[in-house]
Amino acid sequence: MNRVVLDKQNSLGTISKNLYGNFSEHLGRCVYQGIFVGKDSPIPNVNGMRTDVVEALKKMKLPVLRWPGGCFADEYHWQDGIGPQKSRKRMVNTNWGGVVEDNSFGTHEFMEFCRQVGCEPYINGNVGSGTVREMAEWVEYLNSAGDSTVAQQRWANGHKEPFGVKFWGVGNENWGCGGNMRAEYYVHEYRRYQTFCKNYAPYKLFRIACGPSEGDTHWTEVMMQGAWRDMEGLSMHYYTVPGDWGHKGKAIDFTKEEYDTTLVKAARIEELIKAHLAVMDRFDKEHRVGLIVDEWGTWYDVEEGTNPGFLYQQNTMRDAMVAALTLNIFNNHCDRVVMANIAQMVNVLQAVILTEGDKMVLTPTYHVFEMYKEHQDAWQIAADVLCEKTADGKLSRITASASEKDGAVTVTVANLDGENDADVRLEMDGIQASAISGRILHGNSTNAHNDFDHPDTVAPAVYTDFAQEGEDCVKLHLPACSVAVLTIKA
């Protein structure tokens, strides 16, 4: 019998709501069409922002959004994206499809989008092809309440009040598209750039240094040794690619083997988190610097017939399982992992939303984020999982996490096995339930997904296939490839 044992005495503290963040880049149809359609679009919008997308993100309680990239961040010059839209500079988006970027979505538009959604902005500055002055002045433009020429430019562009941006990234993947730097070089660049990213009272920046790719602990070591006192966060990127980078695998119509491999690879994120934290802890004994997983998710071959530079892929119950597993892992490391941003929010990679013209679809991944939202800023409760293995003994079949907020305990539990149902005993020592309710997400196959003609094939349903056994134990039956959320009221 699979067991999930909750231990209220054993908590890592608060689960930051920012673990439920998203990432949006000027890539394919993420920003343009996915978020921003312009004021004159026939698609319902407020100040150019799609109303359907804004409303869906509000329902999901999106807490934080990273922008403008990704690789795009290190070729983005913020001054090109302010002032009258029609006269903004047109540039080539060299990373993503070579399309012309007209800069009609810039700083003010991003801040307006965050305002409408009610999320915090996380802006990634340009180290790779920008200058220290450029980055310093972007911070000044955003946060200074004074009347410097740079701040006055913001007033002239319609925003007298400072924006008060907190989360600040100093470069992106500077070991790759952000300048192909060695760790030993970037650490000096990081120290120099962050020196000029000033705090304009009352706003205090939360500086995020470019961190490692996957298991590159050397990068982490160099960054921590050389700059840990000058950062609040170190980022890490990890993508789940079922095949290899040349042949990643299909987003739909995949085999059982590909399903299993995907989940085994997704589970690896926990090993990576532990490896980087072990290095970070050697320098930062008081755990002041947080690990920020600001790019994660599945990466498949693009959908046939779409621009290969646009990274558009469908999203199935397999992706929902990756999200359920990953978010549980983040919750269970919430003392050190303080922000995460799935790549990406709309129409790119493991998107929570897909759009086509005026149509919008919520993906299975969206539903997982929405079902998990009660964990945001809740008090984590240790959830020990004792379970069978699947995928030829490589994967724990069950994943779970738990938290408590406003007198209710939330437990999210998934059966990752793509073929077999699972019975799970939830042992809740010291939690006496007076009422339990639940919701479940599952499809008729691991490949189940939503498309523009069938937007509700996969959607959460009321979950009743559980029974209380005694005062503090619940027996759950979970179909293959499903995720459930239980709300337990004392």
CB of 152 to ligand AHR, least distance (A): 33
Write out the H or E segment, with its range, that includes residue 194.
helix 183-195
Residue type, 16: S
101 is catalytic: no
* Among 30, 35, 71, 227, contact with ligand AHR (rule: CB under 6 A): 71
Identify residues 9-68 at the interface with ligand AHR (CB under 6 A): 25
Compute the least distance from the CB of residue 26 to ligand AHR, in Å. Answer: 9
Exposure letters 70-96 (e unless 16+ CB within 10 A, then b) = bbbbbbbebbebbbebeebeebebebb
By CB under 6 A, name the one of 48, 69, 162, 171 that touches ligand AHR: 69
Site for ligand AHR in 288-307 (CB under 6 A): 295
Q: What are the C-alpha distances in Å from 165 to residues 122, 171, 190, 214?
A: 7, 16, 19, 28
Tell which positions 324-363 bind ligand AHR, by CB under 6 A.
Answer: 343-344, 349
Between 137 and 295, CB nearer to ligand AHR: 295
Site for ligand AHR (CB under 6 A): how many residues?
10
Instruction: State how far the alpha carbon of 452 is from the alpha carbons of 34, 197, 348, 353, 357, in Å.
Output: 14, 44, 16, 11, 10
Q: How far apart are CA 355 and CA 353, in angstroms?
A: 7
User: Quick check: 150 and 137 in contact, CB under 8 A?
Assistant: yes
Separation CA 31–CA 20 (nearest Å): 19
Site for ligand AHR in 158-177 (CB under 6 A): 172-173
Residue 319 interacting with ligand AHR (CB under 6 A): no
Alpha carbon distance 298, 344 (integer Å): 10
Exposure b/e, 448-458, CB count within 10 A at least 16 = b? bbbeeeeeebb
Closer to ligand AHR by CB, 329 or 343: give it.
Answer: 343
Q: How far is the CB of 237 from ligand AHR (least distance, A)?
A: 6
Q: Is the Cβ–Cβ distance between 468 and 436 less than 8 Å?
A: yes
**CB 18 to ligand AHR: min, Å:** 18
Q: Is 427 among the residues known to form the active site?
A: no
25 or 417: CB nearest ligand AHR? 25
Measured from each CB, the residue nearest to ligand AHR is 70
Catalytic option among 75, 137, 295, 374: 295
Rounded distance between C-alpha atoms, residue 407 and residue 415, angstroms: 27
Closest CB 269 distance from ligand AHR, rounded Å: 15
Separation of CA 297 from chain center: 8
Least distance in angstroms from the C-beta of 69 to ligand AHR: 5
Residue number, 141 or 239, with CB nearest to ligand AHR = 239
Contacting positions for ligand AHR (CB under 6 A): 25, 69-71, 172-173, 295, 343-344, 349
Catalytic residue numbers, as ranges: 173, 295
